[in-house]
Copies of this chain bind each other. A is one copy, B any other.
Amino acid sequence: MTDIKDQVRQIRENARYDAETVHAILDAGLTAHVGFVEDGQPYVIPMLYGRAGDRLYLHGARKARITQLLASGAPVCANVTLLDGVVAARSTFNSSMNYRSVNVYGHGHLLEDRSEVLDALRTISEHVFPGRWEELRDPHESEIGQTGVIALAIDTASAKVAAGPPEDEEADYDAPVWAGVVPIATTLGDPEDDGRLVEGVALSPSIAALAGRRL
């Protein structure tokens, strides 16, 4: 991340994008950092999301100002970054991070059609907990009514992937200093029940499948 190039210009010129790489990173992540603007002030909020084709779905309390802003059609930027390693070079200058990162640029709108809303909520839920939707009761009408679901059409997206060992200055390879990568793993661990299970209830298959998942 020390070697950030002129991403802003690059993004603008990147009217198409490498959908396969972008989608793989979006599908691997759990949360997006969603950026929007109000009165010239940028905000960045972590949100759960789901993807269907070239759409991202986001949700929040329907009456919340954030939901209204995201639904307004104003430009939105959603970033999903997965950290893969700390890159320890032979100089501070060349030390950096390994990561997979996607920026999605688009304009949101609020879904109003009930079946579209349910499909989007299911898409978000299945992104986080595959299989969970079918294990749970249907949403109550009041829950659906309280939820604002935003579809973000992906106009443009860019992926950036940094991987591999440090790239040092040639002269620095003679220095007697350790260099390499410290891998970073983000992993889902063993489920912990809440102590209020109905007697005899076992771990749900969807939750059992989450254990050990690595982002």
If over half of A's interface residues share one DSSP class (helix, strand or loop), that class is named, otherwise mixed; here it is mixed
Q: Which residue of B lies closest to A178 (CB)?
A: B204
Residues of chain B within 8 A (CB-CB) of A69 are 8
Residues of chain B within 8 A (CB-CB) of A4 are 45, 47, 60-61, 64, 66-67
A119-144 residues at the B interface, CB under 8 angstroms? 121, 125, 128-129, 132-133, 135-137, 139-140, 143
Q: Are B143 and A93 in contact (CB under 8 A)?
A: yes
User: Which among B8, B88, B189 is the interface contact of A129 at CB below 8 angstroms?
Assistant: B88
Q: Are A125 and B95 in contact (CB under 8 A)?
A: yes
Residue A186 interfacial (CB < 8 Å): yes
User: Which among B75, B192, B206 is the interface contact of A41 at CB below 8 angstroms?
Assistant: B75
Please encode chain A, from 126 to 167, with 1 for each CB lying within 8 Å of some chain B CB and 0 for all others: 001100110111011001000100000000000000000110
Q: Are B187 and A192 in contact (CB under 8 A)?
A: no
Which of A75, A135, A175, A178 has the largest number of chain B CB atoms within 10 A? A178
Residues of chain B within 8 A (CB-CB) of A197 are 178-179
